[in-house]
């Protein structure tokens, strides 16, 4: 472990535990006091310049850590050094350290799908927060993020930092043109309004593809989505799969990605790919965002942080022209089935192997504190999305740009019925296999059914490799939690 | 020994000196052998042992000896087999094109002209560029809408060109191979240029006196004498190309779909991304075996040619 020269001697594990135990003994009786105290007012401990390292998974997350590093130092005497690990390598790099029972980082940022794999190496947060007298304001965290993306087997291991989800973006200016509305109705027989279903999304993508509906003398395209293989492409598949009523496995742990729900979801992606800008096979978050904010496409599905970029005149050609909606759904048995898609997300946790746990906990508390969390989320340079109810309801968020209230309503509606990624061990591998299958079908190296059948076969291999009974038990726990939120499998014929 | 059967001092001294002479080379080699043992032999033996186990590094499941099961599973792993085929589809054109291009440039440069040294240095720059950095530059240049390649083509043909260089399996493989050609052609150029300059002028002069044409000079003097530099260059290039990883990782991520997934790229995902180290080790031994087999075969073919067997 790292010890900065000139820094005060760091506590060893035993010393830390002794302090925690002492603090707990003092705190048990006064537990109500700690709870009743205003946010982060309970303890103003000073760590005398102790340095902690944070594994930030992209540069824009590191920006968020840097912006408030002074405040952390002033309040708690903790120096924060964010190290950028590319998001694509974050799982491997951190996990590799964990397997050796070590960590170079005092705070790790990770995608909640890795929580099942990371949990044995993380410090449960509640006991040490209570011992330190820190209030993490958990009641304010949006329940989907708190319950599904921060908690594993009933234990809170992390605090949500970036509340990710996918929503629908559409070019309002194009959708509201009378001429386009008439042409669309004449061709498809229904009005040009934000799509309610993925079939409508396909029609609208087709309608806007290959002509200059933007009015700048160039050819424009229908829709931009992410088709990059692996984990990246998985998020776009997941949004469709969930809205076609699919879930990942049945009760016996048999994959359902190659069910009728999966086939229809993937077929929809393949169909819409024809109306996407050139180069889309390698598109991920940034490229899909660019296509929307440069006015290349009329429709797009992407993370919520895109909204701020679309309203930033220095980066966007579509300021004030973008509308928002929940992801499209599907008509199942005569009813519209429409859910949100909790794509990715990023949380903060403290590795068991950190030698600066208490300092790390204080920094973590500050970065996820309601007022700080709101400021980070409002800053277009950070790419961080809301995780807290107070942020979504704040006047600052509602007045961030003229159409912001509509955007916030979409977030609330989406998160309440947010469909999660797989949260069982090996989730990263399941997702990669599925994302690769999607990309193979889009690239036409495999048919839709073949791609998903192969992926289902791979999923079975992963399950067997990780132990079928254990995986089945853990999937049941996830599915039970999903059912409680109304997310149940809806078979399609 | 003296008649009493005892070893004399002189005999003892000779024996000791012989032993010392025998030990000296080993002592001199010891540091190198030790380093090789630690950095090459031990990891190789260790990974061979791991390849016979079910070992999930990320899970606390311990080791389980499974014999040849990982090797058997690899044979039935469609994705592994597909990655082997895709590796061949990428590296064979890359190997041939880089060699032809490097050889052509070497022939052009094998004559005295002003600034020749500067030209050679500039042309050798791709060898000095880190492979990942080179792949990243190509990733930007090959972007359909804003990339330099399409812009250049647009200027040349006088209308907007929007080729999706990484959009279809065929084009993506071609693009990955092209990056390898860019990287390896200068290497062949340097080796073959050195080989060309080592051929004595007298051989050409004598042949010309005998009335040999330029084609005959090339076919009967240049090519045979470049055989060994060419073989060395091809072997080094081939071994490196089989390990192709960085360009695929940066440029295509194995896509579109899994169409540019190569052996090492797949093995990396199995062993180092998802930590199935037992199975990953078995896959890596297949890669190692393939490289060894093909290298030996290639050397043997050249030997047979030299001996006139083929």
User: Could you give all domains of chain A from N- to C-terminal order, each with its CATH number?
Assistant: 13-162+346-384 (3.40.190.10), 164-343+417-493 (3.40.190.10)
Q: Is B210 exposed, middle or buried (0-12, 13-18, 19+ CB in 10 A)?
A: exposed
Nearest to A136 by CA among A25, A37, A278, A202: A37
Query: How many residue pairs from chains A and B have C-beta atoms closer than 8 A?
Result: 99
- Which percentage of chain A shows pLDDT scores above 90? 82
From the CA of A435, how many Å to the nearest CA of chain B?
A: 8
Residue B256 to residue A442, Cβ atoms within 8 A = yes
CATH superfamily of B83-138+164-272+280-307: MetI-like (1.10.3720.10)
**Mean predicted confidence (pLDDT) in A193-201:** 98
Cβ separation A428–B257 shorter than 8 A: no
**Whole-structure pTM value:** 0.83
Measured between alpha carbons, how far is B265 from B258 in angstroms, rounded to an integer? 10
Cβ pair B253:A230 closer than 8 A:
yes
**pLDDT < 70 positions in chain B:** 1-8, 309-310
**pLDDT for B228:** 86
Which pLDDT band, with edges at 50, 70 and 90, does A22 fall under? very low
Instruction: Give the number of other CB atoms < 10 A from CB of residue A374.
Output: 19
pLDDT digits (tens, 9 = 90+) for A220-268: 999 999 999 999 999 999 999 999 999 999 999 999 999 999 999 999 9
* Tens digit of each residue's pLDDT (9 = 90 or more) over A57-95: 889 899 999 999 999 999 999 999 999 998 888 998 999
Q: Is A90 on the interface with B (CB under 8 A)?
A: no
Residue A353: φ, ψ to 5°:
-85, 0
Pairwise CB contact (< 8 Å): A91 & B273: yes
User: Measured between alpha carbons, how far is residue B170 from residues A145, A269, B90, B174 in Å?
Assistant: 42, 21, 10, 6
Partner residue facing A278 (CB), from B144, B258, B259: B144
Distance CA A172, CA A468 (A): 48
A102 touches chain B (CB under 8 A): no
* Interchain pair A439, B255: CB under 8 A: yes
Residue ranges of domains in chain B: 83-138+164-272+280-307
* pLDDT at residue number B18: 82
pLDDT at B306: 73
Q: What is the pLDDT of residue A37?
A: 37
Q: What is the pLDDT of residue B294?
A: 82
CB distance B257–A229 less than 8 Å?
A: yes
Sign of the dihedral through C-alpha A411, A414, A418, A419: negative
Give dist(CA A107, CA B82) in Å, integer: 40
Q: Please tell me the distance from the alpha carbon of residue B37 to that of residue B34, in angstroms, as a whole number.
A: 5
Q: Determine the pLDDT at residue A321.
A: 96
Indicate the residue of B59, B143, B258 with minimum beta-carbon distance to A229.
Answer: B258
Mean predicted confidence (pLDDT) in A97-102? 91
Can you give the pLDDT at residue B220? 94
Residue among B164, B252, B257 minimizing CB distance to A278: B164
Q: CA of B185, closest CA in chain A: separation in Å? A: 27
**What percent of chain A shows pLDDT beyond 70?**
91
Separation in Å, CA of A463 to nearest CA in chain B:
13
User: Cβ distance A259 to A267 under 8 Å?
Assistant: no
Residue B63: the pLDDT is 84
Query: What are the distances in angstroms from CA A219 to CA A169, A431, B211?
Result: 20, 34, 64
For A296-310, the DSSP string reads: -EEEEEEETTHHHHH
Note if the bond before B256 is cis, omega within 30 degrees: yes
Do residues B302 and B227 touch, judged by C-beta distance below 8 A? yes
Distance CA A373, CA A64 (A): 10
Q: Is A99 on the interface with B (CB under 8 A)?
A: yes
Rounded alpha-carbon distances, angstroms, from residue A475 to A250, A261, A288, A463: 9, 19, 32, 11
Which ipTM score applies to this complex?
Answer: 0.75
Long-range contacts of B136-139 (CB under 8 A, 24+ apart): B136/B250, B138/B175, B138/B178, B138/B179, B138/B182, B138/B247, B138/B251, B139/B250, B139/B251
pLDDT one-digit tens code per residue, A469-488? 999 999 999 999 899 889 99
Residue in B with minimal Cα distance to A425: B59
Mean pLDDT, chain A, rounded, equals 90
């Amino acid at each position: 472990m790292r010890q900065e020269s000139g820094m005060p001697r760091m506590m060893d594990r035993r010393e830390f535990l002794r302090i925690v135990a002492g603090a707990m003994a003092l705190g048990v009786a006064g537990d109500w006091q700690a709870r009743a105290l205003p946010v982060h007012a309970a303890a103003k401990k000073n760590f005398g310049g102790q340095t902690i390292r944070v594994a930030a998974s992209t540069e824009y997350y590191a920006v968020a850590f840097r912006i408030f590093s002074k405040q952390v130092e002033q309040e708690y005497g903790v120096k924060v050094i964010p190290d950028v690990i590319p998001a694509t390598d974050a799982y491997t790099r951190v996990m590799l350290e964990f397997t050796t029972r070590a960590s170079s980082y005092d705070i790790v940022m990770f995608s909640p799908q890795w929580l099942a794999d990371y949990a044995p190496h993380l410090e449960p947060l509640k006991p040490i927060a209570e011992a330190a007298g820190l209030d993490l304001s958990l009641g304010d965290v949006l329940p989907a993020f708190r319950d599904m993306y921060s908690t594993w087997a009933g234990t809170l291991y992390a605090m949500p930092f970036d509340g990710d989800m996918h929503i629908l973006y559409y070019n309002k200016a194009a959708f509201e043109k009378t001429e386009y509305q008439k042409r669309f109705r004449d061709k498809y027989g229904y009005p040009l309004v934000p799509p309610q279903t993925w079939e409508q999304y396909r029609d609208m993508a087709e309608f806007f593809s290959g002509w200059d509906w933007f009015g700048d003398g160039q050819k424009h395209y229908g829709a931009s989505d992410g088709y990059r293989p692996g984990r990246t492409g998985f998020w776009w598949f997941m949004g469709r799969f969930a809205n076609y009523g699919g879930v990942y496995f049945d009760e016996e742990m048999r994959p359902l990605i190659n069910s009728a729900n999966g086939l229809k979801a993937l077929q929809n992606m393949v169909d819409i790919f024809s109306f996407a800008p050139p180069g889309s096979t390698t598109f991920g978050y940034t490229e899909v965002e660019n296509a929307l904010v440069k006015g290349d496409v009329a429709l797009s599905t992407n993370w919520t942080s895109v909204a701020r970029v679309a309203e930033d005149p220095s980066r966007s050609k579509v300021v004030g022209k973008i509308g928002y909606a929940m992801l499209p759904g599907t008509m199942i048995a005569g009813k519209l089935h429409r859910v949100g898609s909790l794509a990715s997300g990023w949380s903060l946790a403290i590795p068991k192997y950190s030698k600066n746990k208490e300092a790390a906990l204080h920094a973590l508390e500050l970065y996820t504190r309601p007022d700080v969390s709101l400021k980070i989320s409002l800053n277009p340079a950070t790419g961080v999305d809301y995780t807290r109810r107070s942020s979504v309801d704040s006047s600052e968020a509602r007045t961030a740009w003229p159409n912001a209230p509509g955007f916030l309503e979409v977030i609330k509606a989406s998160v309440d019925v947010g469909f999660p990624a797989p949260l069982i061990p090996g989730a990263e591998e399941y997702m990669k296999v599925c994302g690769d299958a999607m990309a193979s079908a889009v690239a036409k190296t495999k048919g839709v059914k073949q791609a998903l059948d192969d992926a289902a076969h791979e999923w079975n291999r992963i399950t067997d490799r990780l132990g079928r009974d254990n995986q089945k038990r853990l999937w049941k726990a996830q599915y039970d939690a999903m059912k409680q939120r109304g997310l149940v499998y809806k078979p399609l014929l | 020994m003296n008649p009493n059967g005892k070893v004399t001092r002189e005999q003892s001294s000779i024996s000791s000196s012989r032993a010392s002479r025998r030990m000296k080379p080993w002592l001199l080699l010891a540091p190198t052998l030790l380093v090789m043992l630690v950095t090459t032999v031990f990891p190789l033996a260790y990974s061979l042992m791991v390849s016979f186990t079910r070992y999930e590094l990320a899970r606390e499941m311990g080791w389980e000896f499974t014999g040849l099961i990982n090797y058997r599973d690899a044979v039935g792993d469609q994705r592994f087999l597909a990655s082997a085929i895709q590796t061949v589809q990428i590296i064979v054109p890359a190997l041939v094109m880089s060699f032809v291009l490097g050889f052509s440039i070497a022939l052009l440069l094998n004559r005295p002209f002003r600034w020749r040294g500067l030209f050679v240095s500039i042309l050798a720059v791709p060898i000095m560029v880190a492979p990942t950095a080179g792949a990243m530059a190509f990733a930007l240049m090959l972007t359909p809408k804003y990339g330099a390649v399409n812009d250049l083509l647009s200027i040349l043909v006088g209308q907007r060109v929007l080729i999706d260089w990484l959009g279809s399996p065929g084009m993506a493989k071609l693009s990955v191979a092209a990056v390898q050609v860019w990287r390896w052609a200068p290497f062949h150029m340097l080796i073959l240029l050195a080989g060309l300059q080592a051929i004595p002028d007298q051989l050409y002069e004598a042949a010309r006196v005998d009335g040999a044409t330029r084609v005959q000079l090339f076919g009967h003097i240049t090519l045979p004498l470049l055989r060994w530099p060419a073989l060395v260059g091809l072997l080094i290039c081939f071994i490196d190309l089989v390990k192709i990883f960085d360009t695929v990782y940066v440029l295509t991520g194995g896509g579109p779909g899994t169409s540019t997934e190569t052996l090492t790229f797949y093995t990396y995902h199995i062993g180092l991304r998802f930590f199935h180290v037992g199975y990953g080790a078995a896959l890596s031994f297949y890669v190692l075996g393939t490289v060894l087999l093909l290298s030996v075969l290639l050397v043997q073919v050249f030997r047979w040619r030299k001996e006139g067997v083929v």
